[in-house]
Structure 1
């Protein structure tokens, strides 16, 4: 599995690529079995807010069958094709949107945001940013109202301008008003679909009014120099993407 030139041009324009049926079904089946077992036997409904803000199944964060969704699926190579030298990936984030009818109290929605900036559960001064989000769909996501991730393709460029021209460290706004006012486009798909999304693409998640859990596995990918230039990477969307420099030059020539 590799990215085409068209894929890379799409990424420059939209800030995301979706590769359908990209992950081996055997890898998906093993990962989903783990998350299903955890939901049945270990999930504490009193901690739903905490799971939603951080991760479901925290005990499985470094389980090899979950990490394999990145390391053994071809996704790691795609991340290298976009970012070049990347830090080693050692953890997975499991995000589940549970059907409303199964919960005694509502699972909190996630408003439009970019990860790691002005998070409600963190000090506003703290940045937990990265370069690229890799997501693997682990459940059928065919209903936009069933907890689908909602993204704003192309808005990574507007976000970078906002971070460069208006944002200051410590403010509590996660995105500018014009971005916050948008609903976003639902990410629909099937188990094994792969999402590669620029960190600066704003996204949100609403309630699941369907009948089945929506399950995603996410991997946060950082260029090896990201930690030392976090603010610069917010202001320059391609700083952490050196392999795309030639294509970017062609587009701006």
Structure 2
């Protein structure tokens, strides 16, 4: 049975993101946190470090515990519920373990877009279809390392690229960047319980927020791409709904 409701789908199309609660059960959360601990034992942050700390393992032919975690948690199946019929999803090639170690009184000045540096080997921007963030720690309250999101910016960014051409998706074209000069509106902080999954459109403006104290924030991010995305990326960035299921009437 699907977990993406019609209301969630409509929210995703309008706002560019949705938080799906209770995707992971307690055992899956515990497994994810054990994977995180194992990674941090091998590559720990400095004891005095505060703020964001990232590890980005590539999976390769041998696989990786975070790829097995992705599969067992059903993240790909969940994301496919947002796609148009007939589209399928590649498995991710890497993950990003994103921690925020408190206290960190950062307030993001503005959003960014992922994947622009370095460009892909074929020279195109590193676009993808969906960002999936798996929350291993509770983010019920704001200012706990929550992701800051500017709702609807994926649509305004898409209009910017439709007007200026998809090849305007370059940092040098988005001064003062790293996001284009579009109306941003007010940001929100994504919130929910551990075991929730955030699904966000590639073009959606977002950034890391502050963490005023308590438990460190642990999120595993996957960049998800539909089959055929590399060939239609220009259509995707100028028509942000091209890969996604239309809102039910």
User: TM-score, normalization: structure 1?
Assistant: 0.77
1:235 paired residue among 209, 224, 238: 238
Counterpart-to-counterpart distance in 1, 2:203 and 2:233: 12
1:37–1:57 Cα change, 3 Å: farther
The Cα of 1:205 is off from its aligned counterpart by 0.8
Tell me the SS of whatever aligns to 1:114. Answer: coil
Counterpart-to-counterpart distance in 1, 2:12 and 2:18: 6
Please name the residue that 1:56 is paired with: 55
Counterpart-to-counterpart distance in 2, 1:209 and 1:116: 29
Counterpart-to-counterpart distance in 2, 1:99 and 1:58: 23
1:75–1:58 Cα change, 3 Å: closer
Please name the residue that 1:144 is paired with: 142
Please name the residue that 1:24 is paired with: 25
Tell me the SS of whatever aligns to 1:97. Answer: strand
1:170–1:21 Cα change, 3 Å: closer
Tell me the SS of whatever aligns to 1:96. Answer: strand
1:20–1:165 Cα change, 3 Å: same
Q: Which runs of 5+ in 1 are unaligned?
A: none
8 Å CA contact retained: 1:134, 1:221: yes
Q: Which runs of 5+ in 2 are unaligned?
A: none
The Cα of 1:224 is off from its aligned counterpart by 0.5
1:240–1:78 Cα change, 3 Å: same
Give the alignment's Cα RMSD to 1 decimal. 3.2
Identify the structure with the greater helix proportion. 1
The Cα of 1:45 is off from its aligned counterpart by 3.5
Please name the residue that 2:126 is paired with: 128
Counterpart-to-counterpart distance in 2, 1:123 and 1:197: 21
1:79–1:142 Cα change, 3 Å: closer
The C-alpha deviation readout for 1:52-97, integer Å capped at 9, x for no partner, is 5xx4263789433x33443222332222222221112343221111
